[in-house]
Structure 1
Amino acid sequence: MSFSDFMSVIQLAAGLNTAYFSFSQLRLPAFEAEQRALDRLAEIIGRQRQGSEESGAAGAGYDLYLQLRIDLDTIRYASQRKDGIFGKGCLVAAIIYVALLIFGSFYAQTELSFLPALVISTFGFLPIAASFVVNVAASQQVRSKITRRRQELERTVFSRSQERYDRS
């Protein structure tokens, strides 16, 4: 097998590792949606706290809101730390694969055995695959941990608002 036989695989690996930072944006819609929902919930809880004579129930809702906000920020921070690690890995892989492309353009007829070709091809996609998995996992973590608890808090807050409305 010559080096030129798998140049398209090397080109794809170089391109995907270069485009890593667009993959790191996969989790943003989940974070932004929860951020907006929590902001709306904060406004409602704030109004309830101002107009409530039952400060304990409103305070408990605010405490739950704060815990959700902390959990969301914790997940976001952990994802950003992983981005730092995977970003460096993708940058190194992109540099290596661009160097392999340059080498391949000069030595296209160089013979390679199957194992080195397989290793070069496989390792080109590992950083980007890991990045994809981490970003999808972060989005899933937001949906499973934050969204469910926020919806429970919303039901509690809205039922409390309805009770106050019914009493008046």
Structure 2
Amino acid sequence: LTHCIAGALATAGYGTALGVVRSAHAQGKVALVWVDETRPVMQGSRLTAWECVRDGIPHRVIADVAAASVMARGEVDLVLTGADRIAANGDTANKIGTYSLAVLARHHAIPFYVAAPFSTIDPTLLSGEHIPIEERDPAEVRGMGARQTAPDASPVFNPAFDVTPAALISAIITERGVFRAPYRFA
């Protein structure tokens, strides 16, 4: 199961998380990739799914809230996401909803991997609590496309990212190797 976009469109190359999927697919190790839509901007359904189609990778797009159901049915072998920033202790900031997937994966005993460039690791940040989280335009949550579904008067909380604690991450995959807790990036 993937979350957000971590393919060639996001990295101007082979991709991080989707690069791992591409490599596994080339080796015949991918039966199906669950691509969650990645609300509110839909990077998964718009971009990851497009890259899967282009590369001939078997996949199915699901609503973000369906992840628990496919995990509970035993249809997910692992969760693979990217990262926008990684703290020295392994806490990881990624698209909102990543933390929820990590909690679900832990509950269902499914490995949760992060694939990111080594340059994403910020050794000056001791933990994820120091990673700044941007709040995005409320309109992204108030509607879908041009159709508004929530009243303008309804307050909105729309963080772009959340922080997944290192304790929920099975490993962090970079071009310099695979790192496991306790994280010592060198």
Choose between structure 1 and 2 for higher RCO, CA contacts under 8 A separated by at least 6 residues.
Answer: 1
Is TM more than 0.5 here? no
Greater C-alpha radius of gyration:
1
Higher share of residues assigned strand: 2
Query: So what's the TM-score if we normalise by structure 2?
Result: 0.19
Query: So what's the TM-score if we normalise by structure 1?
Result: 0.21
